[in-house]
Structure 1
Amino acid sequence: MSVLDEQAAADRTSAPPPRMSKRQRAVLLLLLGSTFLLAADLSLLNVAIPLIGDGLGFTVGNLQWIATAFALTAAGLTLLFGRVADLFGRRRVFAGGMLLLVLSSLLGGVAQEPWVLIAARVGQGVATAMSTPAALALLTTSFPEGPLRAKALGANGAMVSAGFTVGAVVGGVLTDLLSWRWAFLINVPVGAVIALLVPVLLTESKAAAGGRMDVPGAVTVTLGLGGAVYGISRAGDLGWTSPAVLGCLGAGLLLLVVFWRIELRAAHPLASVGILRKPTVRWGNIGGFATITMQTAVIFLVTLYLQEVLGYSPMATGLAFAVIGVAAFLGGMAAPRLIHRFGSRAGLLTGMLLQAAGPTGLFLTAAEDSSIAVTLAILAVGAFGHVTAVVSYMVTATSGLPDAEQGLATGLATMTQQVALAVGIPLMSSLATGRMHALEATHTTAQSVLAGVRIAMAADAVIVLATVILITVFLRRTPAANANDALPPVPLTH
């Protein structure tokens, strides 16, 4: 490094960190509130699904549609609405999504028939697909690339994990003390307040004029993602070799290939090929997909372990996750400092390594008489690393791009989140249940569940570590990553 470079680095390090204005803080608070609400909505109903089935007369075979209807629409439409927000206004789409969430949640809370509740879940999925990429694009365009944006993304990552964890806790408490209907109705007042504040605090943001909607791309990516997510969602019940599962997966992958070919030729592509070919965008999303998919599976597997092996009640299990939530929140707060000092690539790799410690530790220590303190300590380390990785992947996948492409980049990153949330549990539950079924005739239920959880945890850790190796090899330090390195440290409090 030359003397001039050393002096420039010293000047940057000694410069006081930028501070958010009062308006920026208000905008951040509003957008973080929506992130928390949407993340909580993903887990609020998990513990209530059996009660919903009993209350509304769902058959056992149709219970999975309560989760699948949401996952299909949220995953399949996220990229589309990311582009719609770019073209027609991010604030407009965000506000519309929040209003739709309020109406859909109200419909679900008063539903008396299965089809009405499924319609409400579809509406919630569409609302999530509208609001999430628009909110993230509003966040990245409200804060310039650098320390403030990294800090905002760090808080956003913390809210994703905290919302998902708190949703599981609150869902269990509401279902036990009141009714499963409150898992829907709690969204109504919170969503309404956010929707009312949108025109007050947010200014409109959209891409430069001249763009058009890529209809063929929108159709193929929506149907392709829907087919793939549906196939994976059904694999847990039907098996991976089922003709229905293989057909859906094959059709979904084929449509996604067609989508890619369309984007190569489209004058106004839904997903810019230039963005998809950027190493930071590509590998950032790959890392994010592995991170979120595997951590979602860990939460599911730990739920099985705590209840079926250690004998905890659903409410006690939910409360145990509060420890994970605290660790995740701390990870979200610490991630910007790590990113600013070492770069988003280093943050992603470090976070994923720490996350892998969770399933690795449980594979090594899980037993019928394990200490809950040891289990929670292991999970806390994994949760801290998970949110660090999530924040780093969001920074990696959205850095070095002009504002006009932020909607596309955030749409891709958000689609990664939604698809990962949809497929993580089916992927690992299929592996775990296969092992359980193989042992159920010769072992107790607790022993069978323990064996299934352990083998799935081992696979979980291997997938995360394999992704770390790939990112280490193929994602080199780029100018965008080096720019992050030069950012001054950001204090965690104002």
Structure 2
Amino acid sequence: MNLGRTKDRAPSPPHRGTVLAALAAAQFTVMLATSIVNVALPQIRAGVGLSDGGTTWVVNAYGLAFGALLLAGGRTADLLGRRRVLLTGLAVFAAASLAAGLAASPAVLIAARALQGLGAAAIAPAALALTMDLFPPGPGRGRALGVWGAVSGAGGAGGVLLGGVLTQAWGWPWIFHTVALGALLVLTAVTAFVPRTAGRAAGRFDLLGTAAITLALTCLVWALTSARGSGWTDPRVLGALLAAGTLFTAFAVIERRRPDALIPPRLFTTGRVRSGNLLMALLGSVWIALFFFLPLYQQQVLAMSPLATGAGQLPLALANILGAIAAPRVARRIGATATVTTALLTEAAGLLWLSRISADGSYLTDVLGPSVMVGLGLSIAFVQLTALAVDGVPGPDAGLAGGLVNTTRQVGGAIGLAALATLAGSVTAHASTHQPHLEALTAGYRAAFAVSAAVLAATALLALPLTLPARPARRGPGAALPPPTPAAPAPPPQRQATDPAPAT
């Protein structure tokens, strides 16, 4: 059925690598901005005059806008053109990054971080949808998603490294100036190499549904991030959670009645979209927390400098890259289900190792080994779950599917970080009554890593039934055969890079 979308003209094979590099660089920039501020938070606080609560919002403002607006960004990319939305998002992202680096007051800095999140919410789903357009289902798409996973993991770990280097060498404003320069370079590359012929989906923008889900996600993410400082019983946190539940219910009612729904039911009737998003949310709940707690342990307990802390993330980043590149090959050899479960269990083992850190430990004995295990498992799981979440999605909905999988990862990360930070803080407060400060801090971090390992082990068990391909039902001896179907020739089967068996 023709949905009104013009057919994309695929670039000639020699240029596909260049186009993919430009799109992957856009995703790297988004992930870089997520983690680059973590090491520099003490310097940012002193430089702008932030309070304790304001310091957390340097991180939260970006994550809140990013997570709440991803679905709207994905649908906008489908309707207005993915290349156009990607370029607009990059321009907004670059301008906001420059403003953050020039900020002289807390309000300007936090507002600039929120605007960065808005730009990222346009970049991530549009770039992923363009990648899916560029590589049809098959081994080529598997390799492309491997690159995508590599740059996503490298962006998270590389942000900690780059943040440490820039903060120690030139000061915290340069972390934002560097991100702005990188976004402008990516914008130039996208303008030069990504084809102009990406089509648009037919239909109208679901303004009412978009408003409901955006406000619901905003309330949810705000409540979860605020609970770390205010506590779960704070009336504002409880009110925001109640408002989120009400708005999610209203969104479900709205979507049933609208012909151009923001999340059409057809999105969940093909492929393994539902399974991929559920598992990605669970993976995200641990992923973002890892890059929050590990640098804190290195700086606050092991007394490593920002530069040394950033350099200490290099093995994790390299393991991420290697795992993501190897993921498609591993999946073709052992299947998607075995690949996902093995990757999740590998990451869980690394986090369990991290749960044995000590206050008098060292980087070599407590951080290096588990970082490599976590990096390998994380990247392979990310690649396979992204593939599951876009598996079988029709071309006109690719941007929405990309927005959805990024939303589940981001919201899962907000939930996980809020819960794990609350747990770590409670354990630290209890331990500080009878232990020295560093040992109490370490006890909190150990608890966060141990629970993260348990979550991933449970996710691996859940992945077993959710990622298995459907098997045709056997017919009993008295079962009636279906009537013959007339004559339209069946399309040739397409081999998927992630799993040669048919998708559920």
Q: Report the counterpart of residue 7 of structure 1 in structure 2.
A: none
**Alignment pair present for 1:451 and 2:443:** yes
List alignment gaps of at least 5 residues for structure 2. Answer: 1-10, 472-492
Residue 432 of structure 2, aligned match among 440, 444, 462: 440
Task: Return the alpha-carbon distance in structure 2 between the equivalents of residues 139 and 260 of structure 1.
Answer: 30
Find 2:179's aligned residue among 175, 179, 187.
Answer: 187
CA distance in 2, matches of 1:36, 1:314: 21
- Looking at structure 1, the residues matched to 497 and 46 of structure 2 have their Cα atoms a distance apart, in angstroms, of 52
Q: Which residue of 2 aligns with 1:112?
A: 104
Partner in structure 2 of residue 411 of structure 1: 403
Tell me, yes or no, if the aligned pair for 1:292 and 1:390 is still in contact at 8 Å.
no
Q: What is residue 272 of structure 1 aligned with on the other side?
A: 264
Instruction: Name which of 416, 433, 437 aligns with 1:424.
Output: 416
Identity across matched positions, percent? 34
Match of 1:373 in 2: 364
Partner secondary structure for residue 443 of structure 1: coil
Give the alignment of 1:33-432 within 5 angstroms: 33-203=25-195, 204-209=197-202, 211-276=203-268, 280-363=272-355, 365-370=356-361, 372-375=363-366, 376-432=368-424
What SS class does the counterpart of residue 313 from structure 2 fall into?
helix
8 A Cα contact 2:160 2:309, kept in partner: no
Contact 1:109 1:182 in 2 (8 A): yes
- Alignment check: 8 A CA contact 1:343 1:484 kept: no
Check conservation: 2:167, 2:306, Cα contact below 8 A: no
SS at match of 1:112: coil
Once the two structures are superposed, residues 310-356 of structure 1 have per-residue CA deviations (whole angstroms, 9 ceiling, x without a partner) of: 33233222211111111111111111112223333332222111111
Tell me the equivalent position of 1:491. Answer: none
Q: Report the structure, 1 or 2, having the larger helix content.
A: 1
CA distance in 1: counterparts of 2:357 and 2:47, whole angstroms: 35
- Provide closer, same or farther for how the CA distance between residues 239 and 485 of structure 1 changes in structure 2, counting only shifts above 3 A: closer
Shift of 1:137: 0.3
Partners of 2:387 and 2:498 within 8 A in 1: no
Name 1:473's counterpart in structure 2: 465
Structure 1, unmatched stretches of 5+, are 1-18, 489-494
The CA distance in 1 between the partners of 2:311 and 2:241, in whole Å, is: 36
Give the counterpart letter for 1:115 in structure 2: A
Distance change in 2, residues 1:483/1:170 (3 Å): closer
* Letter of the 1:82 counterpart: G
Check 1:284–1:481 CA distance in 2 against 1; reply closer, same or farther (3 A cut).
farther
Cα deviation for residue 254 of structure 1 reads: 2.5
User: 1:205 is matched by which residue type in structure 2?
Assistant: A
The whole-number CA distance in structure 1 between the counterparts of 2:287 and 2:180 is 28
Aligned residue for 1:270, secondary structure, equals coil
1:192 is paired with a residue of what secondary structure? helix
Q: Could you say what secondary structure the match of 1:32 adopts?
A: helix
Q: SS at 1:267's partner residue?
A: coil
Q: Output the amino acid matched with 1:359.
A: L
Whole-Å separation in 2 of the counterparts to 1:268 and 1:317: 48
Deviates more, 1:468-477 or 1:456-465: 468-477
Confirm or deny: 8 A CA contact 1:304 1:449 kept in the other structure: no
Work out the CA distance in 2 between the residues paired with 1:230 and 1:396.
Answer: 29
How many residue pairs are counted as aligned between the two chains?
A: 468
Verify the 8 A CA contact 2:340 2:463 in the aligned structure 1: no
Structure-2 separation of matches of 1:244 and 1:208: 40
Q: For each residue in 1:54-95, what CA deviation from the matched residue of structure 2 results, as whole angstroms up to 9, or x when unmatched?
A: 222223332222122111110010100100000010000000
Offset at 1:278?
A: 5.0
Alignment partners' CA distance in 1, 2:242 and 2:384: 32
Contact 1:79 1:415 in 2 (8 A): yes
Q: In structure 2, how many angstroms separate the alpha carbons of the residues matched to 1:132 and 1:337?
A: 25
Maintained 8 Å contact 1:207/1:405: no
Cα distance 1:472–1:415, how it changes in 2: closer, same or farther (>3 A)? Answer: same
Change (3 A) 1:179 1:372: closer
Q: Aligned partners of 1:100, 1:192: CA distance in 2, in Å? A: 10
Give the aligned partner of residue 454 of structure 2: 462
For the 8 Å contact 2:316–2:371, the answer to whether it is kept is: yes
- C-alpha distance in 1 between matches for 2:364 and 2:49: 40
* Change in 2 beyond 3 A, CA 1:264/1:469: farther
User: What is the CA distance between 1:482 and its match in structure 2?
Assistant: 7.8
Q: How many Å separate the matches in 2 of 1:234 and 1:42?
A: 18
